[in-house]
Amino acid sequence: MIKGALFVVTAPSGAGKTTICDAVISRIGRLRYSISATTRPPRKGEKDGKDYFFLSREEFEKGIGEDRFLEHAEVYDNYYGTPKEFIFEQLRAGYDIILDIDVQGALALKKRKLPAVYLFIVPPSLEELKNRLVKRGTDNEEVIARRFAQARSEMGFISRYDYCIINDRLEEAVEDMLAVIRAERCRVERLKEEIARISG
Amino acid sequence: MIKGALFVVTAPSGAGKTTICDAVISRIGRLRYSISATTRPPRKGEKDGKDYFFLSREEFEKGIGEDRFLEHAEVYDNYYGTPKEFIFEQLRAGYDIILDIDVQGALALKKRKLPAVYLFIVPPSLEELKNRLVKRGTDNEEVIARRFAQARSEMGFISRYDYCIINDRLEEAVEDMLAVIRAERCRVERLKEEIARISG
């Protein structure tokens, strides 16, 4: 039986997704990140089975053939995908999973009718998003312009999601996401066993 | 436009509903109780428009004829009902409303397809419920037995609700209900205006 809940989280670059999700995971139990599979080589310090499952192109394509990914995509000649087995193992063990994924990936999951909770994290305004992208100083003007245009177009899909977390003040956004996870754990359909025990 | 959310809350007698809801209201803003209408005479200290809307039998029946109640019932020769106008006024003003109602009332609302969030509060076990009913010392054995039987039969309807709050430790139950309300406020369909502003 699947006990855990799958939280699919999307956010435009600069919305603060990683900061929020890290804070949420540190403050609530039974919650973990999903681990993606990829064919790109490990970067320095990255560990197989922790940061990614690093697969050869052959292994990855075999996995696609065997329908072992919830979704996958090819980006700049490398495959990225979400391994089913890892997620379902964790969910069966009672862990909730955060699956950090872009709009295309999330829509692919929805198409498969995967029972999941879909969250979209947004900045308080597009202007603030631009400020944040400029401030963090990691990207040149062209990249910033591209990320900004992408953010704008991604945000057109929010209505396909269940929840929207507006990251105006970080602490409030973290509380919002914690509330969503806590509330989802109170859903009647997730408490069937407990309810049967109580009513028995 | 309806901005607030309606939280329909049901619990068997002794589950701790009032304690939980009072605590929740004291700890979160923009949340109020619904006020019922009734034909029973005011008890000492009860105020019209605060504890109840006290109506004559004639007024109440006129209200029924004009479809001015979300639901109503006759109990021991007195009418009790949920006035639409008060609730929709509050929701339009941006307040969330807690509507404390029994299973029959909640099912009547569901039948009307009223967009609401349905919560059921339960004790950690039926045994504990019995203990609590005995402990509070307000009812005789026969009343306790009746309440207990009713609780048991009411709990058969939990699956019709959205959320189940298990009141094992009070503080946890309060946090659960606060989370449900906070999460519902993050629902995409409730944030349409904000999202349009941000994406604009």
| Rounded Cα distance, B107 and B160, in Å | 8
Pair type for strands B69-75 and B78-83: antiparallel
Q: Which of A9, A125, A130, A182 to mutate to test the interface with B (most CBs of B within 10 A)?
A: A182
Q: What percentage of chain A has pLDDT greater than the value 90?
A: 80
| DSSP category for residue B159 | G
As for the ipTM of the complex, it is 0.93
Residues of chain B found within 8 Å of residue A152, distances taken between Cβ atoms: 199
Residues β-bridged to residue A97:
A6, A32
Q: Which of B71, B124, B125 is nearest to B101 (CA)?
A: B71
Residues of A with CB under 8 A from a CB of B: 120, 122-126, 152, 155-156, 158-159, 161-166, 175-176, 178-180, 182-184, 186-188, 191, 194-195, 197-200
If you ran DSSP here, which 8-state letter would residue B43 be given?
A: P
First and final CA of chain B: distance in angstroms?
Answer: 20
Q: Is residue B90 part of a domain?
A: no
Q: Is residue A109 part of a domain?
A: yes
Helix axes of B170-185 and B17-27: crossing angle, nearest 10 degrees: 50
* pTM score: 0.94
Residue B130 or residue A2, greater confidence: B130
- What's the pLDDT band for B55 if we cut at 50, 70, 90? very high
More confident residue, A187 or A137: A187
| CA distance to partner chain A, nearest, from residue B136 (Å) | 21
Residue A1 lies in a domain: no
pLDDT beyond 80 at B129: yes
In a domain, A124, yes or no: yes
Nearest to A20 by CA among A183, A168, A185, A186: A168
B151 in a structural domain: yes
Helix (H) or strand (E) holding B31: strand B31-33
Domain of residue A165, CATH code: 3.40.50.300
Of B163, B183, B197, the CB nearest to A180: B183
Beta bridge partners of A80: A38, A73
Domain span at residue B151 reads: 6-34+95-199
Q: Which amino acid, one-letter code, is at A175?
A: E
Give residue-wise pLDDT tens across range A63-105: 999 999 999 999 889 999 999 999 999 999 999 999 999 999 9
Q: Is residue A105 part of a domain?
A: yes
User: Nearest CA to CA, how far is A27 from chain B (Å)?
Assistant: 14
Nearest by Cα to A167 from A25, A15, A22: A15
**Run of H or E including B165:** strand B163-166
Find out whether A170 and A132 touch, Cβ atoms under 8 Å: no
How far apart are alpha carbons B119 and B190 in whole angstroms? 18
**Measured CA distances, B194 to A124, A164, B4, B29 (Å):** 9, 10, 14, 19
Q: Which residues of B touch A157 (CB under 8 A)?
A: none
Select the residue of A176, A188, A194 nearest B159 (Cβ to Cβ): A188
CA distance A120 to A140: 26
Q: Under an 8 A CB cutoff, do A179 and B176 touch?
A: no
- Chain B residues lying within 8 Å of A179, measured CB to CB: 178-180, 182-183, 186
Specify if A144 maps to a domain: yes
Identify all chain A residues contacting B194, using CB atoms and an 8 Å cutoff: 164, 166
Q: Of B123, B163, B187, which is closest to A162 when you measure between CB atoms?
A: B187
pLDDT score recorded for residue B13? 87
**Which of A120, A155, A176 shows the shortest C-beta gap to B182?**
A176
Of B124, B161, B198, the CB nearest to A188: B161
A contacts of B156 (beta carbons < 8 Å):
199
CA distance A125 to chain B (A): 5
If DSSP states are collapsed to H, E and C, what string results for chain A?
A: CCCCCEEEEECCCCCCHHHHHHHHHHHCCCEEECCEEECCCCCCCCCECCCEEECCHHHHHHHHHCCCEEEEEEECCEEEEEEHHHHHHHHHCCCEEEEECCHHHHHHHHHCCCCCEEEEEECCCHHHHHHHHHHCCCCCHHHHHHHHHHHHHHHHHHHHCCEEEECCCHHHHHHHHHHHHHHHHCEHHHCHHHHHHHHC
> Structural domain tally of chain B?
1
Could you say which of B155, B175, B188 has the minimum Cβ distance to residue A164?
Answer: B188
> Is a pLDDT exceeding 90 seen at residue B175?
yes
